[in-house]
Structure formats: structure tokens, C-alpha cells
Structure 1
Amino acid sequence: MTAPPATEEARAWVSRVHGPVGADDVEVRKHRPWATVWRMRTAAGVVWAKQTCPGHAAEAAVHRLLVAARPAAVVPLLACNDDERRLLTADAGPTLAEAGAASGPDAALLVQVMVEGAVLQRAAAASPALETCGARLLAPGSHAAYAEQALEQLSTLPAEDPRHVGADEAAGLRASLPRVERWDEQVGALGLPLTVQHNDLHPGNAVAIEGRIAFFDFADAVVAGPLGALLRPLGALAEHLQRPATDPAVLDLAEPALEVWSDLAPPSALRAALPAALRLGMLQGLEPWLSFYPTMDEQDVRDWGPVAPMLLREALSPTR
């Protein structure tokens, strides 16, 4: 795996922008090809520093946008450096996933995460910074072209590359593009505004601050229609209920989140378009992987290369 960015450089940056951090007060808590996260102790308390890969350089701008749109729903941002792709956030205690780890998945909590995520999306939709935040734009009507672009990117890689999609398989997946166009039409007909689609909405990316849910980790975010964000929590609910993700008993749990948009589109139309929006959400989930592939080393390609082809197959599978 790619070596972590210099911890000493990160410590020096935090010391400049927030306050002194001792050499023994730094701990690497996560290192992945797409980001490194440090937990640091300062005189003012614990903070979290993060440095993203070039493909996820928009995270700080997205975080700022959301803080401005709905401060109570976002973990406080203490500092950021867009040029060096660094951001610093306050420690807000255990994530909702960590807090509930002993009791396992909580259906009520997942529903609450969906609702609060939708409320945050509603606020972000009105942000004047939305179009310039740097996150990939995947508006309704663009997903078939995006899928074609992804197929082209992956199918032209060498056959021995784990990211490669063979010519025959690519042709079969292209046959699903008219279905993607129909999903786009159905979702676009709702007339919902573009907003920040977190793309990784789950209790592990949320905390409780003064009794309210606050979100963080916006590295995977895209600018898209709002309903694709429900893909991840509904998947967790399906697993919790031991039912298929397309089961009406699972989809019905999205009703409180759909209610957030019910003044803009009829509830019946929102419910009818949800399966199509979730399929588009699968394609939106490709973007974080495709965006950091160019900076991976050989070991990263072996470890993480198969993910994007797997997601593309899942999104375009005619049997799902």
C-alpha cells in the first residue's frame, strides 16, 4: 500500500493552525489509498486530521458547504487546506456505529440517519456553493453516459489489470444502458433539486452532538439527486431484516426520508421512483473508486482494483 503521508508534516500543520501537538500525541488511525486519518491530542482537546488523495480533493469544500448550510448537522470543521487536501475536525465522541456496537444494527437508528441526511440534503440544495464545490456532478440524465465512460475506462486497461472488464462482458453491460436511461427519466421527472449525495451514509459516518445527528467524511460525495443517498442505509436495513434490498418491507422504511421531499413531488411518485434512484445510486457509488484509481500503486491495484468492476456489474445487472 502507498506509504502514509508524512505524519510529521501533518503534525506541523495542525500545530500551526490549531495549537501545539507533541510528537507522542499523534496516532495514525486509518491509512487507505484514498486518505490517511490521524488522531491528535492538543491542549484544547482531541482533534482529527485527514489528508485525502488528489481524486478526493473536494472533501474540504463540500464539508464547508454543509457547515454553512446546516451547522448543527455536520461535525465542526476547525481548519482546512485545499491545496494540500487536508482538513481538521473536532472530536465529537464515538460514532453512532461505535456507540451501538454491543447491540448490533438498529433499524430505528438507520431510519433516523436517512431522515437527518435528507434534511441536510434539503439545506445543501439551496447553497450557492453547490455548483463550485468540486464534487463530481451526476445529474439525472447523465448516468448512462457516465456508465459508458466507466466501461470505456475499465475495458481499455490491460487484461491482467484487476480493474479490467473484458470486451464481451463490456458489450453485455452496455446492453443495460437503455435501462439506465429509463431510470434517469423516472428520477428526473420528480423534479427534485440537485444536492450533496454523501455516497457513504451510515452510522459509522455520524455522531451525536447535543442529542442531534451530525455527519462527517464527505470524501465520496457527489452532486446528484438526493435519493441515491438512501442506498447504503437501506442496504443495511435489508441485511438487518434478512430480506432482499428490493423487498417492499425494506423500501417502506424509506418513507420518513421521502417525506422530506413530499412538498416537491407526490409521495406516490417518490415511492415509485425509489428503486430507480437506488440503481442510479449504485452508479454514483462508482465515482469515489474511479477518482482515486489513477494515484494507486501496484499493491493498491491488487488490493482495491476489483471494486469498481464489481460495482459496475452490480449496477447494470439485469437480474438485480
Structure 2
Amino acid sequence: MSRTEPTQWGRTRLWSTQATIPTDAGQLWFKAPCPGLSAEGNITGFFNSIDEQRFAFPLNVNMETGWFLLPDYGDNLKTLPSPFPDLWALMLQDFGRAQMELVGRDDEVFDHGMPILDPAWIMTHLEQQLILHAALPADHPLHIPAETAEQLDQSFQPLHQDAALLHSAGIPLSLDHNDLHRGNVMLPLEEGDPLRFMDLADSYWAHPFGTLSVPVRWMCDEFSCEPDDERITKVIHTYLEQWSDYGTVDELSELVAPAIRLSGIAQHGVWLRILDDADEQDMRDYGNVPIDILKNLTQPLRPKQA
């Protein structure tokens, strides 16, 4: 395999650098995740070994840096002319099936570097995160004053009930994509193939229904509606039908709102991992993001642009 043209450098952000590489065997896609998200290539390869149609196949993964190469999988769903509910339903149907394929792999995903958030202990984890923020020096961008931390801790009390409900329901842990939108889902290369899911950098092994958080926000934005809109409800029901081994759609629907509320804890964790190696300027620019996530954990779900 030989390069046919210069590397085309794309986005360079705090969390990753990306590029495309033209070769005589086709275009390759390169990603260099930040150190805190460096397990993405290894995790992607593991999931591909289980479900090769729904996950990408890394051609090479540097286990020291986390840099990896992928083949070009074509266009994503954002290239379609306009979003519509049936497209979201298909996307979440396929993702639910992928999650079901992965159930029971807890030890293996941990060995491949995937972080875990279990409803059984997620609130203890959240309390520890508050302590971490409060213990930082007062001039640190991630510092939360003790009084504010106490107020947040009090505001989190309803989340204890959410976690207890999710834990008692008996839904097994699986992949929470944590950034599942149309730009991270590829169109099938062959007729009859399922959709392929990309960009697992933010992913957690957690309650699977937490993965609905980002799609619901995107649908609210794209359809100019509230989360309880009938179109969104139908899409969610299509997703829940993939979990019929664990209850009826009505029974499982009771778990959706608690899972979405708790999903912010994973989003907070991603930002702490991103900022772990940030320089002073990036810390000043982005340090408010994980703090704002904590402050909004118990707030109503908002469109992605709100």
C-alpha cells in the first residue's frame, strides 16, 4: 500500500486530531485521540471482533499512543437531505441490536480500556467527583467551592432514586455510546447491511438506555419539539423493542428518563479525561464544561443547541 497524495489534515481539537490519507488501496482515516481517550481504537477493534458489520475495523492501533487507522466507510447519516423520525428509529433499532450483542462482556471491555459506570455504585462515584472538584486549589479552573459542592450534593438526592430504580430493574450493562448522533453513524456499504457506528471515544460500559440522551437532544433540535413529542416517543419505543427480553415497552419506558438523567455523569467523566493532560490555556477555555454538566444534571433535558 502506498500513499498517492499528501495527507489531508482535518479537525485538530483538544480531544483529537483527524486526517484522511489517500492511498492506492483507497482512502484511510486517521485519528489521534487525546491521552485520556486513547482506548478508543482498542475498544473499537474489540467490538468489531464481536459484530463486524456494526463496528469499524481498525487496520492498525498504536497501543502506546492510541492512534489508529480505519478504512473509509463512506458517508454518514448527516449527508442525507433531511432528518426524519424513521431514520432515527432505524438508527436506534440497529444500535439496540448492537448493544444486545455485547451484553455479558463486562470483564472483557474493562480489559480493553473501557470505563464503567454501574447504577449500583454510580452515586458513590458522583460524590467522589464532587470531593475531587472541591479539593482543588481555589484558583484552579475545575475548582468548586465547598458551599457550592454541598448545594450540588443536595440537588443530586433525586438521582439516588434513579440509580436505585435502574439497578433493581435488572437490565444488564452494555455500550453507552455517549455521543450517538447522525454524524457518527455510517450508511450501509451494501444493500441489506446494518448501519455502522463510529467514534466510540466518549463511550462507557453503563446502563444501555443512557445512550438515548444525545439522540433525544438532537431530535428535539431537528424537529423543533420537546422530548415528550409523539415522534420522539415512537423512536424510543422502537429502540426499547430490542430489549423485549427484559420487559414490555411500557415497563422499559419507565427507565428511560432516569437513565438519561444519569448519563450526564458519563459526559462529565469524559471531560475530566480530556482535560487530564490539558495545558493552562485549554484548562481555562474548557474547565467550565464539566462543572456546568454537574450543575445541570437534574435540569430538564434540553435541545443540543440550548
Same fold (TM over 0.5): yes
Q: Percent identity?
A: 27
Pairing partner for 1:68 from 49, 53, 65: 49
Structure 1 residue runs of 4 or more that deviate by more than 6 Å after TM superposition: none
Pairing partner for 2:93 from 95, 115, 123: 115
Pairing partner for 1:271 from 253, 258, 272: 253
- Following superposition, the deviation at residue 133 of structure 1 comes to 2.0
Q: Contact between 2:88 and 2:235, CA under 8 Å: does it hold in 1?
A: no
Which amino acid is the alignment partner of residue 113 of structure 1?
Answer: M
Find the aligned partners of 1:111 and 1:252 in 2 and give their Cα distance: 8
Which amino acid is the alignment partner of residue 96 of structure 2?
Answer: A
- Following superposition, the deviation at residue 246 of structure 1 comes to 5.0
Pairing partner for 1:40 from 21, 26, 30: 21
Aligned to 2:187: 208
Find the aligned partners of 2:284 and 2:291 in 1 and give their Cα distance: 13
- After superposition, residues 16-27 of structure 1 pair within 5 angstroms as 19-21=1-3, 24-27=5-8
SS of residue paired to 1:232: helix
Q: Contact between 2:22 and 2:28, CA under 8 Å: does it hold in 1?
A: yes
Aligned to 1:91: 72
The alignment status of 1:143 with 2:122, answered yes or no, reads yes
TM norm structure 1: 0.86
Pairing partner for 2:273 from 263, 286, 291: 291
More strand by share: 1
Which amino acid is the alignment partner of residue 71 of structure 2?
Answer: A
Aligned to 1:243: 225
The alignment status of 1:53 with 2:30, answered yes or no, reads no
RMSD of aligned C-alpha atoms? 2.1
Structure 1 residue runs without a partner (length 5+): 1-18
Please identify, of 166-175 and 248-257, the stretch whose mean Cα deviation from structure 2 is larger.
248-257
Structure 2 residue runs without a partner (length 5+): none
TM norm structure 2: 0.90
Go from structure 1 to structure 2 and tell me whether the alpha carbon gap of 1:67 and 1:51 turns closer, same or farther (over 3 Å shift). same
Q: Contact between 1:58 and 1:133, CA under 8 Å: does it hold in 2?
A: yes
Find the aligned partners of 1:44 and 1:249 in 2 and give their Cα distance: 43
SS of residue paired to 2:246: coil
Aligned to 2:165: 186
SS of residue paired to 2:297: helix
Go from structure 1 to structure 2 and tell me whether the alpha carbon gap of 1:114 and 1:153 turns closer, same or farther (over 3 Å shift). same
Find the aligned partners of 1:228 and 1:52 in 2 and give their Cα distance: 23
Find the aligned partners of 2:149 and 2:298 in 1 and give their Cα distance: 10
Pairing partner for 2:211 from 229, 233, 240: 229
Report Cα offsets for 1:83-121 as digits up to 9, x if no partner: 221111111112211x12xx3433322222211111111
Aligned to 1:4: none
Equivalenced residue count is: 298
Report Cα offsets for 1:165-218 as digits up to 9, x if no partner: 232221111013332221111111221111121111111111112243101111
Find the aligned partners of 1:248 and 1:227 in 2 and give their Cα distance: 19
